[in-house]
Amino acid sequence: MAARTTLNTRRANRRYAADASLLFVAAAFVLPLAWVILSSLDPRAGLKVKLPDGVTLDNFDAVLKPDITFTPLLNSLILCGGATLLTVVCAALAAYPLSRFRSRLNRPFLLTIIFATSLPITAIMVPVYALFVQVNLIDTMQGTIFFFTASQLPFAIWLMKNFMDGVPKELEEAAWTDGASSFQSLLRVVLPLMGPGIAVVTVFSFVAMWGNFFVPFMLLLSPEQMPASVSINDFFGNRGTVVYGQLAAFSIIYSTPVILLYVLVARKLGGGFALGGAVKG
């Protein structure tokens, strides 16, 4: 009886410790979000997390200007949207032969992809910058889109292949029997059945590009082409002066497209590939 009581006490202590750890982790995420929301409504916002000294929308009025918010956000949407679309298309085309055809080169290629994901972006920016100068892609939106796509493709291919492996090949074979080509079966059979995989790759790629500061800062020179991830640096003034309220308001507006994208594809993220029964009988 005493041993059972001791065991129950240990389990309770472990549960309390786990709950305390989860609460600590949750606080680490909630406090920055609370600061952003509260500071955006505070006319005298600072670094402390506190209730606003009177609720005001002046911070939003100050940043909702074409040169401060609208133009940088449009540039970000063009860069990240174009690069995400190109990444998803290229990843699907590259993942299809890796998933459907067996070759001795598949494993070395996938290992090379994993190695490419570990390369720090700062290690390759100098040769990339020199290359872009030579081919006249420096300070161009299309050049930045190409580099965004190239930097996200390795992990996107890896993700896309894993999701594509979940689509039964027998469904494609049925399409081939009806006269469809491999490209037609990819478009009409495989991709429609792996909606959750495409949604994951889309969200992952877009979020990674949306928050990227270093790449557009290096490859774009014209202020009118700078995305919001770079223009947010303008809120940090000289000698350490920062307009915290406007910075918080801009951060909320800057986060909105990512939140909307996730909401739009969230219903696909919960799906799966319960297609095993479709090839039986």
- pLDDT value at residue 80: 94
Report CA-CA distances (Å) from 188 to 84, 91, 165, 184, 193.
21, 17, 16, 6, 9
- pLDDT value at residue 276: 40
Degrees (nearest 5) of the Cα angle 158, 274, 87?
Answer: 25
CB distance 145 to 84 below 8 Å: no
Q: What is the C-alpha end-to-end distance of the chain, expressed in Å?
A: 56
- pLDDT value at residue 278: 40
Degrees (nearest 5) of the Cα angle 39, 42, 44?
Answer: 105
One pLDDT digit (tens) per residue for the chain, 281 residues: 556 667 667 777 788 888 888 888 888 888 888 888 888 888 888 778 888 878 888 889 989 988 889 999 999 999 999 999 999 999 999 888 888 877 777 788 778 877 777 777 777 888 889 999 999 999 999 999 999 999 899 889 988 988 888 888 888 778 888 787 878 888 888 888 888 888 889 999 999 999 899 999 999 989 899 999 998 888 876 555 778 888 899 999 999 998 888 888 776 565 444 444 344 43
d(CA 149, CA 205): 9
- pLDDT value at residue 85: 95
- pLDDT value at residue 267: 66
- pLDDT value at residue 280: 41
- pLDDT value at residue 84: 95
Phi and psi, residue 242, nearest 5°: -135, 135
